[in-house]
Structure 1
Amino acid sequence: MRVNRVLLSAALVVVALIIQVSVLARLHLPGAVPDLMLLVVLGLALVYGHVGGSLVGFGAGLLADIAPPADHAVGRYALVLAVIGYFAGLIKPEKGQVKSALGPLFVVAGAAVGSTVLYAGVGALVSDGATRGVGLGSLIATATLYDLLLAPFTIPLVMALARRGEREVTGESAESGSSAGEAAYRWLASGSSSRGGSLLRGRRGGQLIGRQRTGLLGGRRTSNVKVSRIKGVKRL
């Protein structure tokens, strides 16, 4: 990933984690906690693609695993968000621009269901009882509802910031390429002009030398003619 992507992703993930831990988790809503980290990963994956989405998801999940008050095994949520970011990046729209608002909502709903099921499945494999005491159906329903309510306020903002960063990078590269091309063109133009000037000077110098030679030869010829005429007169 490029430096601008890493910096933007890190900033958005940290802000999302702070809001989720300090605000959303303290609301004590029934069922699941609104997953702002998941929405940030989805927004970045829809712009950066499957590779960037998986990397951002893994980093965001790992940060959530080690940030207090995490009560599950480290790496569990990192795996979940990496998989979700990868599959969300596979349906990345062309040029990162969404034509309809229904597309991201379907992606959010599928990601909420998939992340909840995958989180519970990984917990069952590693014998992590963090989701015990809460029904899986209730978690899926509440997680999907909360994420869909937060998506219109989160996904467009994240995608707009990511697209802006991409445009700035492409604009800088295009400007540097054009300036280099202009410099090369100027160098070629100056070189061609100097070469043209030297060629013109050489031609002019050759013409002058040729004229001098012709003038000298012409003078010699005229002097010979005069001498022959004088000799002829003397003979007569």
Structure 2
Amino acid sequence: MGLVTGKTALITGAAAGIGRATALTFAAEGAIVVASDVDDAGGKETVAMIEKAGGKAIYVSADVSKPTDVKTLIAKAVAAYGRIDCAVNNAGIEGKITPFADQPEDNFDAIIGVNLKGTYLCLQAEIAAMLKSGGGAIVNLSSIAGLIGFPGLSPYVASKHGVIGLTKNAALEYAKAGIRVNAVCPGGIDTRMLDSLAEQATAGAQSSAEMMDPLHPMGRIGTPQEVADLIVWLCSPRAGFITGTAIPIDGGYVAQ
């Protein structure tokens, strides 16, 4: 028996990185998966990987910043499998590294729209579905940028701090309804997003690992699988008394 055998799990941003690793791990631990993204090719590839390994999954294209897309996503998930037991709000963008006073408004709006509003919209729809089926577990993707500041990334930092606020409030409001809501706060993780930030910060002179490894007390960045393992555990019965938390998974970064 896996950690989440028989559960239905919804993962946004499932086309690559942490989202893909999380979708694959849910499937490996016995869940039926609904994978969603705006990258249709990547999302369908994630589903194909799950099916090749013997799991069951569907792909639903959705832009989480759009209310109609989110409503359709949840409706299709429920129509396919009857319920949503676990939800992972992972879809996110990093935007441009720019000093605070020079941040373009469109950059701010895009990041807040996906990272914060998208999480808000997904939470609303997921909670509504879980209330009808008797409860569930939700994990929101924040970041160490939701716990501390990072010069040049003010909209991203604001969005990820906001995700933790949404997490705490939702957890408090629905604890007695059997819905647990937590956040995870990754440090540097080997993903395309980190590669993009490294490219911007060093003009391509350093890889993400070269830039970020020395900044982590453990001397390395993390892997998507390490984050996925934490997420799936938080959605499992083994984490049944945990709600309203924001857990760093960062090799000691924020302990410095």
TM-score (norm 1): 0.29
Question: Which has more strand, going by share of residues?
Answer: 2
> 1 or 2, which has the higher helix percentage?
1
Task: Give the TM-score, by structure 2 length.
Answer: 0.27
